Chains A and B, each alone.
Chain A
């Protein structure tokens, strides 16, 4: 069946910080270019989740007058704390002893979702066409193998794959250049990395899962502008992770937890670690008497320099977290994602107007501060594979004494799906029951995300081997999907002594963790019908 086609100079997949920056920069450079952005969420920002302490460097370059444009960047960081948590105690680490990359006094506490909404308005004002509710589900190729564009998802397909009355076929969007800016573990980005062998010679990519809750807390506990991070409890020395607590405007705090997906114990439940973390006296005393108003989770990309794939290919660019430009020791990816978008726009403009090869993207990248930043940051994350304590000591030497200039590069040895040990070998973890005041279960949490997928559509979490979860994962790993999924999508049910693997795909919050962590890479996340997924507010 033939689909309608629409032609653009540049088609951008994903309306996050990198894609929006590309669009804005393109229009600034050349207002004649036709640029569109496809976004799978029902509106720009609704699938965006981030801490977020924002460094304005890239935005200063993109929109130098952002302060005059009623931007949602308001709360300047006024105070910083870093705590090491023991089970009951906490030790405050002096901020002046933190590497400079972890100092935030010039930065702002923001909602990245709101920043994206605002960037979306700026882009539209410049003439960019933004289509929320339209996921790009398929890459289209020319006969010579180069990327031609993308197709949007068909709408109105029932769970058996048949057309409903409301069926609306997808559209082919063709671009001189297609920019993939889907965020961490984008499903088309994954296909392109494979097809064009973009990760050749690179270390395996590294990921984490990040949780975030927004709390409205008691005025007396709220200190607008305070940024606090913790390491240590409840994670053991061998699991990479930590928390953030950002005191934003309107008595809100952004409270979150990030755990490296290279964890080894299949009994570990990232969600429950986050819930348990909140019961620590140093945290509980701040949120007690407050109210949780939002919840969400998203995978983030942590491999950095060593794992960064080649970002250009014939007809297309891969940018932002879709490639992996996050700076892990800085715990920031927004400014780097935006910078990669700006560089993409510059490369595309020269490609389209002066017929230069898209590989100029790489030259521009290597000359940029983004590249320098990622290079200096490169050894921090791998050093934590030696454990928290050695990781901190090494990071101190690497970041404070040598400022990232040590003459060697540590490697990421394993992909995250390879790190799980068998359930028998590893200790079970007894998580406390939620008290529904400070800690909660997954069901009530997912409810807060506003996630929904239209009933009667195909399951968008595809199993390569439908029997593997029960026949292999359950026996060997006690099916870890039940625990790593932050939204309770995966369940193992027992009926008449027979185990059954259930996928509650309507609960999915598009975090992509299953696609990353499943030990046999048996789960593939594909786009559901447009507009589905969470409806995040100021995440």
Chain B
């Protein structure tokens, strides 16, 4: 069994996001970048499955600019066997990413594709689903538990009502929730070894995929500032204000 894991380079979750003056996007200069957090869970799960002897290769793939290579390198340091960087400049939308991944799947022929349930930068939560549609594969999204069966997976999904357990046939797409596992630390010796693992570089254009954005972004702006709170003297006043001013009850 071979598992392909898609990872994305995003602004680190600790960084306070700043909107550019001209409203054209968010500031990424001088900003710490990291692997999208649920992608770390996806890699961890794939590596665990390999360690349990149920998979023989884990391949990490990312779509992005040259620096996205760091994200692949990180995946290699925690146990992926080799990496693929599909080079694209500028913004790539989920549809373009899923089309690129479709081509990679056709080339690599994995049995499973794992990725985070969504990326914390655009919060689209679409790539996995669209890839499933393009490949006509079953999908298990928001996975918080994965059990390997003979030719299928039993996946527990985090849904609004609670937990849902489904069974999907392999090959399948799984998008991973943060509850799936606790990603391991990359150890120093493994970081060293990761430097020697191969990363194949492919241009998106060579795959025949048109990655031009389909969505026109009009403006990015900060959410309105929260107003300062006030103190009320009594419960009556609170109720009155909630009714008449805030109009929430």
Of the candidates B16, B31, B182, the one whose C-beta lies within 8 Å of that of A165 is B182
Among candidates B12, B15, B183, residue contacting A166 with C-beta atoms closer than 8 Å: B183
- Specify which of A4, A111, A152, A156 is in contact with B30 (CB 8 Å cutoff): A111
Q: Could you write out 26 A-B pairs with CB less than 8 Å apart? A: A4-B189, A6-B189, A6-B192, A42-B12, A111-B30, A131-B188, A131-B191, A152-B188, A165-B182, A166-B182, A166-B183, A166-B184, A168-B185, A171-B189, A216-B21, A293-B18, A447-B16, A450-B14, A450-B15, A450-B16, A530-B185, A535-B14, A535-B15, A537-B15, A537-B30, A538-B29
A99-134: CB near B (< 8 Å → 1, else 0) gives 000000000000101100000000000000101001
Cβ-based interface call for A524 (8 A): no
**Which of B's residues lie within 8 Å of A, judged by CB?**
12, 14-16, 18, 21, 29-32, 34, 182-185, 187-189, 191-192
| Across-interface contacts of A535 in B (CB, < 8 A) | 12, 14-15, 32
A154 to B217 CA separation, bound complex (whole angstroms): 45
Any B CB within 8 A of the CB of A452: yes
In the complex, the answer to whether A42 meets B32 with C-beta atoms within 8 Å is yes
Looking at the assembled complex, report how far the CB atom of A212 sits from the nearest CB atom of chain B, in whole angstroms.
14
- Contact residues in B for A530 (Cβ distance below 8 Å): 185
Known A165-B182, A452-B14: A537·B32 in contact at CB below 8 Å: yes
Contact A171 B14 (CB under 8 A): no
Q: A448 and B16 in contact (CB under 8 A), knowing A4-B189, A129-B192? A: yes
Cβ-defined contact, B30 with A450, below 8 A:
no
Overall SS of chain A's interface: mixed
Interface residues of A in 120-162 (CB under 8 A from B): 129, 131, 134, 152, 155-156
Report how far A111 CA is from B14 CA in the complex, Å.
Answer: 21
B184–A168 CB distance below 8 A? yes
Set of chain A residues within 8 Å of B189, measured between Cβ atoms: 4, 6, 171
Which A residues from 201 to 245 make CB contacts under 8 A with B? Answer: 216
Smallest CB gap from B187: residue in A = A168
Q: A171: which of B12, B184, B188 is its contact (CB, 8 Å)?
A: B188
A43 sits at the interface (CB 8 A): yes
Give the residue name and chain of the A residue nearest to B195 (CB).
A129
CB contacts (< 8 Å) of B16 on chain A: these are 447-448, 450
Find chain B residues with CB under 8 A from A165 CB: 182
A 509-539 contacts with B by CB, 8 A: 530, 535, 537-538
Partner of B32 from A43, A129, A168, A173 at Cβ < 8 Å: A43
**Given contact pairs A6-B192, A152-B188, A535-B14, a sample of 6 additional A-B residue pairs in the complex whose CB atoms are under 8 Å apart:** A131-B188, A293-B18, A450-B16, A450-B32, A535-B12, A537-B30
Query: Which residues of A in the span 153-195 have a Cβ within 8 Å of any Cβ on B?
Result: 155-156, 164-166, 168, 171, 173
Whether the Cβ atoms of A155 and B182 lie closer than 8 Å is no
Q: When chains A and B are docked, how far (Å) is the Cα of A538 from the Cα of B27?
A: 12
Give CA–CA (A168, B190) in the complex, Å.
11
Which A residues lie within 8 Å of B182 (CB)? 164-166
A46 at the interface (CB under 8 A from B): yes
Chain A: CB-nearest residue to B190:
A168
Residues in chain A near residue B192, CB distance under 8 A: 6, 129
Q: Which 7 A-B pairs have the closest CB atoms?
A: A537-B30, A538-B30, A450-B14, A168-B185, A155-B185, A535-B32, A452-B14
Residues of A within 8 A of B14 (CB): 450-452, 535
* Cα of A173 to Cα of B21 in the assembled complex, Å: 46
Helix, strand, loop or mixed for chain B's interface? loop
Cα–Cα, bound, A387→B91 (Å): 57
Cα(A413)–Cα(B128), bound, Å: 67
B29 contact set on A, CB distance < 8 A: 537-538
- A445 to B: closest C-beta gap in Å: 11
Contact surface of A with B, Cβ cutoff 8 Å: 4, 6, 42-43, 46, 111, 113-114, 129, 131, 134, 152, 155-156, 164-166, 168, 171, 173, 216, 293, 447-448, 450-452, 530, 535, 537-538
| CB of B77 to closest CB in A, whole Å | 11
- Collect the chain A residues with CB atoms within 8 Å of residue B183's CB: 166
Residue of B nearest to A451 (CB): B14
CB contacts (< 8 Å) of A134 on chain B: these are 188
Of residues A6, A156, A166, which shows the largest number of chain B Cβ atoms within 10 Å of its Cβ? A166
Beta-carbon contact of A156 and B15 below 8 Å = no
User: What residues of chain B lie closer than 8 Å to A131, measured between beta carbons?
Assistant: 188, 191
Determine the chain B residues whose CB is within 8 A of the CB of A113 once the complex forms: 30
Which chain A positions have C-beta within 8 A of B30?
111, 113-114, 537-538
| Residue with the highest number of chain A CB atoms closer than 10 Å, among B18, B30, B187 | B30
Query: What is the minimal beta-carbon distance from A244 to any residue of chain B, in angstroms?
Result: 20
Question: Min CB distance, B143 to chain A, in Å?
Answer: 19
Most buried by B among A164, A447, A450: A450
**In whole angstroms, what is the CA distance A307 to B188 when docked?**
36
Q: What A residues does B32 contact at CB under 8 A?
A: 42-43, 46, 450, 535, 537
* A131 CA / B188 CA spacing, docked (Å): 8
B149 nearest CB across to chain A (Å): 25
In the complex, chain B residues whose CB is within 8 Å of the CB of A537: 15, 29-32
Within the complex, what minimum Cβ distance (angstroms) separates B18 from chain A? Answer: 6
**CB nearest to A447 among chain B residues:** B16
- Bound CA span A448–B188, Å: 30
Q: A450 — which chain B residues lie within 8 A by C-beta?
A: 12, 14-16, 32
Q: Distance (Å) between the CB of B50 and the closest chain A CB?
A: 18
Contact between A6 and B185 (Cβ–Cβ < 8 Å)?
no
Contacts of A448 in B (CB 8 A): 16
User: Are A166 and B185 interface neighbours, CB within 8 A?
Assistant: yes
Q: A450-B32, A537-B32 are in contact. Are A156 and B185 (CB under 8 A)?
A: yes
| Cα A216 to Cα B30 with chains together (Å) | 14
Residues of A within 8 A of B191 (CB): 131
Q: Which residue of B lies closest to A113 (CB)?
A: B30
Distance, CA A168 to CA B77, complexed state (A): 13
Q: Contact at A6–B188, with CB atoms within 8 Å?
A: yes
User: How distant is A270 from chain B, measured CB to nearest CB, in Å?
Assistant: 23
Residues of A within 8 A of B18 (CB): 293
Shortest beta-carbon distance from A189 to chain B in Å: 22
Which residues on B sit within 8 Å (CB–CB) of A171? Answer: 187-189
Residues in A with CB closer than 8 Å to B15 are 450, 535, 537
Provide the residues of chain A in CB contact with B187, threshold 8 Å.
Answer: 168, 171
Shortest B228–chain A CB gap in Å is 9
With the chains together, A171 CA to B184 CA distance in Å? 16
Give Cα A43 to B33, complex, Å. 9
Chain B, Cβ-Cβ closest to A250:
B29
| Residues of B contacting A447 in the complex (Cβ-Cβ under 8 angstroms) | 16
Chain B residues near A42 (CB-CB < 8 A): 12, 32, 34
Task: Give the docked Cα–Cα distance between A450 and B182 (Å).
Answer: 22
CA distance A535 to B12 in the complex (A): 9
CB distance from B68 to the nearest CB of A (A): 15
In angstroms, Cα B29 to Cα A530, docked, is 24
Instruction: Please name all residues of chain A whose beta carbon is closer than 8 Å to the beta carbon of B12 when the two chains form the complex.
Output: 42, 450, 535
Kindly state the separation between the CA atoms of A450 and B30 in the bound complex, as whole angstroms. 13
A131 to B182, CA, bound (A): 22
CA distance A171 to B192 in the complex (A): 13
Q: Give Cα distance in the complex from A531 to B192, angstroms.
A: 18
Q: Which residue of B lies closest to A167 (CB)?
A: B185
Q: Report the minimum CB–CB distance from A285 to chain B (whole Å).
A: 21
